[in-house]
Amino acid sequence: MAEISNIRSVKGMHDLLPASSRVFSRIEAEMRRVFSQYGFSEIRTPVVEETRLFSRGIGEETDIVAKEMYTFLDRDGTSLSLRPENTASAVRAYIEHGMAVSDPVARWYYAGPMFRHERAQKGRYRQFHQIGAEIFGISDAAADAELMHMLMDFAAAVGVSGGRLGINSLGCAACRPAYREALKSFAVGVRERLCEDCGRRIETNPLRVLDCKKEPCRAATENAPASADHLCADCAAHFARLRSALDAFGDTYEVDRRMVRGLDYYNRTTFELSAAAPAEEGGDGAGLGAQNAIAGGGRYDGLVEILGGRPTPAVGFAVGLERLAMLSPWAADPLPPAVRVFVMAVGEGTLEPAAALASGLRRRGVSVEFDGSDKGFKAKFKRADKSGAVVAAIVGEDEARRGVCAVKSMTAAMLPGGEKQAEVPVADAAAYIETVLRHEA
């Protein structure tokens, strides 16, 4: 006991007690409602995949793969990993089930836990939850725009609005290398003005220099070449098409020349939905802390092929469920009552009629908390009150002997007959209570 009481949840992995789990559930219900309106269907992929799926798909050099995966050996020596994100798995499933042949245009969404071994902080956890959507088989930027529109629609549906949608284009395999070199030589030119981290980034990932938060770095890269200005003709046309499609959907967005996304597989379109800045930074006070990205996404036209499928264009996004929940006004809503009726059995010979009544009510679709414990009336009424039940059904020894049951209104509202408590035969009680509930509702 002494030792076991020290067991806590693993760092960065948290329990969701009813008050928070309800917010998650409501958000997921909105996800299903909104996404299905856009023709998306839910997929569920395993939490564990072969490690090489992620190292090949997300990129060997990314922080996620290089140092944040929960990796272990299976009994046969295969390296497995807890998924750090869901896109690679979705692509694997798309290929594995031959979607390219049977149903090349797939619109999928998912929700579930992801795992990254990072230092936890506000809005960033080792087990966290993402909601995401992917469209396979369409290269036209109208798909990108529709996806963003769905994201904005979804955020609004859970009460989160006022976010900022930033978009950018990273180019493709044809134009990105040249841009990367141009940016790199620019960065080398201003190296003395950059921070230590950025000095390193010039070699490891020059695009990252652009989104450094430090003011000196931002000033130094003020006139850095932007990827949007170095696109090949096809990518430029795609980006222009994206903007007109966003206009067509009526979304407001900002072209963010500094926006870079961390996963290797992105090409062309990238986008990010970020929360309004917190009050101390002059925003309207949305409390997300330093992790203000609610959702991120982009196009990954090369990924299906990289993972062994036939070339298939694709776009997707992922939303941080914890972050969305923090911003949702639902987080402040009180937990609604769990049941409408409280059935209590008090004393000898009362269990059977009371249990039959509870079952009868539940069969009629009425939620019931049943108390057959050895406590007295007072204690059970206290429980009944706390449960939030509107009606209490009491089977005491006296009632059981006479084949009846007492029905009491727990609210100010009276029973149909005008009294607060009535006695009805147990056999009729379920039907009677059902009508009472209809009146009290």
Partner RNA sequence: GUGGGUAUAGCUCAACCCGGUUAGAGCACUGGACUGUGGCUCCAGUUGUUGGGGGUUCAAAUCCCCUUACCCACCCCA
Q: Which of 88, 150, 314, 318 binds RNA (CB under 7 A)?
A: 318
Residues in 340-379 that interact with RNA by CB under 7 A: 346, 375-379
Element (H, E) at 268: strand 267-274
Measured in degrees and rounded to the nearest 5, phi and psi for residue 311 equal: -50, 125
CA distance 253 to 393: 57
Residues in 131-190 that interact with RNA by CB under 7 A: none
By CB under 7 A, is residue 61 in contact with RNA? no
Shortest distance, CB of residue 166 to RNA, whole angstroms?
A: 11
By CB under 7 A, is residue 85 in contact with RNA? yes
Element (H, E) at 254: strand 254-255
CA distance 136 to 304: 9
CA distance 80 to 49: 6
Measured in degrees and rounded to the nearest 5, phi and psi for residue 62 equal: -70, 155
CA 355 to chain centre: 39
By CB under 7 A, is residue 97 in contact with RNA? no
- Give the number of residues in contact with RNA, rule: CB under 7 A: 69
| Look-up of token digits 């990827």 | 227
Residues in 242-271 that interact with RNA by CB under 7 A: 261-263
- Smaller CB distance to RNA: residue 195 or 366? 195
Partners of 423 in the beta sheet?
Answer: 406
CB 354 within 8 A of CB 384: no
By CB under 7 A, is residue 399 in contact with RNA? yes
**Candidate ranges 152-160, 229-237, 243-251, 290-298; the one touching RNA (CB under 7 A):** 290-298
Shortest distance, CB of residue 411 to RNA, whole angstroms?
A: 6
Measured in degrees and rounded to the nearest 5, phi and psi for residue 121 equal: -160, -175
Shortest distance, CB of residue 77 to RNA, whole angstroms?
A: 26
Q: Residue 185 is encoded by which pair of tokens? A: 């030589």
Residues in 199-218 that interact with RNA by CB under 7 A: 201, 208, 212-214
Give me the residues that bind RNA (CB under 7 A), please: 2, 8, 11-12, 14, 62-64, 68, 85, 116, 118-125, 128, 130, 197, 201, 208, 212-214, 261-263, 272, 289-296, 318-320, 322-323, 346, 375-379, 381-382, 384-386, 392, 394, 396-399, 406, 408-412, 420-421
